[in-house]
Structure 1
Amino acid sequence: MKQTAVLQPIEGGDQGADIEKERESRDPFLVGMGERVRLLRARRGLTRKALAKEADVSERYLANLESGVGNASVLFLRQLTKALNCTLAEIVGDETTLTPDWLRIRELLNGRDHDTLKRARIALEEMLATAPQDPHRLERIALIGLRGAGKSTLGRMLADELKVPFVEINRVIAQLAGCPPSEIHALYGATAYRRYEHRALEAVIQEHPRAVIASPGGLVSEATTLNALLTHCFTVWLQATPEDHMRRVVAQGDLRPMSGNKESMDDLKRILAGRSELYGRADMTFDTSGKSLAECYLSLRDRLAARLASE
């Protein structure tokens, strides 16, 4: 059964003043929780309407929660954790405040720049690794980023020159499921799709010691899948401006994530902002905006060759 919103519309009086007063009186805990839910939703590329449908909750109730004005029940939050495939702790608080060791680690990392954090993360992964490093990691080139960044076009060109297979994870998902990814979403939901995504990546890694791989834009939103990609592939984040992403997607006749949404550009920008930190974990970044296809490919090829030679 869908939850109903706790707060009722304000009737009569000075509505503008009442809204401003309401904003000032918001509980900081509820505001923070709403911000975390918005971030988790953006990382998974879900609109508010899509998340409400996935979690089987009222869209208005979800809007109140994200605005920091809804007193959500525990059952409602549990429904969200299933739809977002996250823990309750990620929504309601920060588990890294639970012990002195966690707090000390936070202090050491607080305020560090992106490169320092990346080196720290790599050092921890090496120290805590339980499996040997994949000897083929540098021979699998995985391209990540939003749709419209050039993963398929540049990936095929790169694979042809390297004389290795070009693999699109979406096609492998369709083979495993027996239907297109869009049908998986429609019939079983986003959580089921993410499971197929992980299975597809595992199958590609097992079958191809050498390949160029184009990954779906939302693959990075699942920590287990992203970690597998980073462990077994040399990853390249293909960046582009939101405008270029939109223009290229429209040129392909594909508006699936923004279909029927009048604020498609705002949605795209939110998704990109929500995933930027995750895409930033790639071994290398390459901006595809403002370049011709030939210029873009040659520059990517040369930069990639130089990086791989230095590894």
Structure 2
Amino acid sequence: MRRDPEPLPSPDVRASGANGERDPYLTQLGERIRSLRAARGMSRKDLARGADVSERYLANLETGTGNASVLLLRQVAHALDVPLPVVLAEVDGLNGQQATEFAQLVQWLAQLPTGDLARVRDACRHALAPAESRDTRHRRVALIGLRGAGKSTLGRALAAAEDLPFVELNNVIEQEAGASLSEIHSLYGQAAYRRYEMRALERVLREHDSMVLATPGSLVSEPATFNLLLSRCYTVWVKTSPEEHMARVVAQGDMRPMQGNREAMTDLRRILQARMPLYARADMALDTSGQDANTSLQALRAQLSHVTA
């Protein structure tokens, strides 16, 4: 006799909202499990046996009346022979054939070497970009990277040299919110800031077919916003050493990184290490370590000339 991992409370306690309706996510989750099971020709009994749960528990899952634990869902995913993200995916309309195709795609991608995975990602990004985006992308140059890399200084210089508008996305975010960046974070929180960041990016993309754009260092951490930037702009990772990052920020009169934080440099290195795979998605990289502003500008213009030639 199989034992459920945890007691199964009544549906109205676990899976219903305030108005008594089933939770939409749990309903979609159940439909995905049922569709994946059907695609594999498995009966409910087969899946229950493979996941080591009772049929009653599985029935509640598939009808959206049971709120399963992550451990249980991992067992179900393993029995279905699909990655757990396929089961958990919160994608509207991901049912039936779509769920099966999504599962196959995730499994295939998971087997690829890191280098091939990056190539597939970039190929998809370019292939699926709107035609208008493909035509104008190289006329919008977006600089990404940590604070202190030289994005603003380099961006202004590049815009002046190429006779293009220069846009500092932080300024547009403040315009959208009607508040300073610090006020947005303190009054509204990180989630609100991310919404304003996305609105600001959408706005500058509507208003400028060509420009040089300096972006906040953390923009790459928000997938939807970063993917939009990558698809609509030619991106340049402006990078330098952690020591120069810190020195440049302090030289600008911003002492916040050092105040009351003896481990500021360690924290900066940790942030840079965590974001490197994201920054590396840029179309090109420019290392400004040990370079003055004019030398960095000439190097950037030389690299860009090969792209637009």
TM-score by length of 2: 0.65
Output aligned runs, 1:164-175, within 5 Å.
Answer: 164-175=164-175
Which residue does the alignment assign to 1:211? 211
Unaligned stretches of 5+ residues in structure 1: 1-73, 78-92
Which residue does the alignment assign to 1:196? 196
1:303 partner letter: Q
Which residue does the alignment assign to 1:95? 85
Which residue does the alignment assign to 1:89? none
Deviation at 1:297, TM superposition (A): 1.3
Output aligned runs, 1:235-250, within 5 Å.
Answer: 235-250=235-250
Which residue does the alignment assign to 1:132? 131
Unaligned stretches of 5+ residues in structure 2: 1-66, 71-82, 89-102
Contact 1:136 1:210 in 2 (8 A): yes
Output aligned runs, 1:23-38, within 5 Å.
Answer: none
Contact 1:236 1:282 in 2 (8 A): yes
Contact 1:170 1:181 in 2 (8 A): yes
The change in CA–CA distance for 1:283 and 1:131 in structure 2 (over 3 A counts) is same
Output aligned runs, 1:1-311, within 5 Å.
Answer: 95=85, 99-107=103-111, 109=112, 111-113=113-115, 116-126=116-126, 129=128, 131-134=130-133, 135-256=135-256, 259-309=259-309
Q: Which has the larger radius of gyration?
A: 2
More off after superposition, 292-301 vs 159-168:
292-301
2:194 partner letter: R
Which residue does the alignment assign to 2:45? none
The change in CA–CA distance for 1:139 and 1:268 in structure 2 (over 3 A counts) is same
Following the alignment from structure 1 to structure 2, what is the Cα–Cα distance between the partners of residues 147 and 126? 28
Measured on the aligned residues, the alpha-carbon RMSD in Å equals 2.3
Contact 1:133 1:231 in 2 (8 A): no
Identity of aligned residues (%): 51
TM-score by length of 1: 0.64
1:251 partner letter: A
The residue matched to 2:247 in structure 1 has which SS? helix
The change in CA–CA distance for 1:105 and 1:186 in structure 2 (over 3 A counts) is same
Contact 2:141 2:213 in 1 (8 A): yes
Which residue does the alignment assign to 1:50? none
Q: Give the count of matched residue pairs.
A: 214
Following the alignment from structure 1 to structure 2, what is the Cα–Cα distance between the partners of residues 270 and 97? 32
Which residue does the alignment assign to 2:46? none
Deviation at 1:104, TM superposition (A): 2.7
Contact 2:126 2:231 in 1 (8 A): no
The change in CA–CA distance for 1:269 and 1:97 in structure 2 (over 3 A counts) is farther
The residue matched to 1:147 in structure 2 has which SS? coil
Following the alignment from structure 2 to structure 1, what is the Cα–Cα distance between the partners of residues 256 and 197? 18
Which residue does the alignment assign to 1:69? none
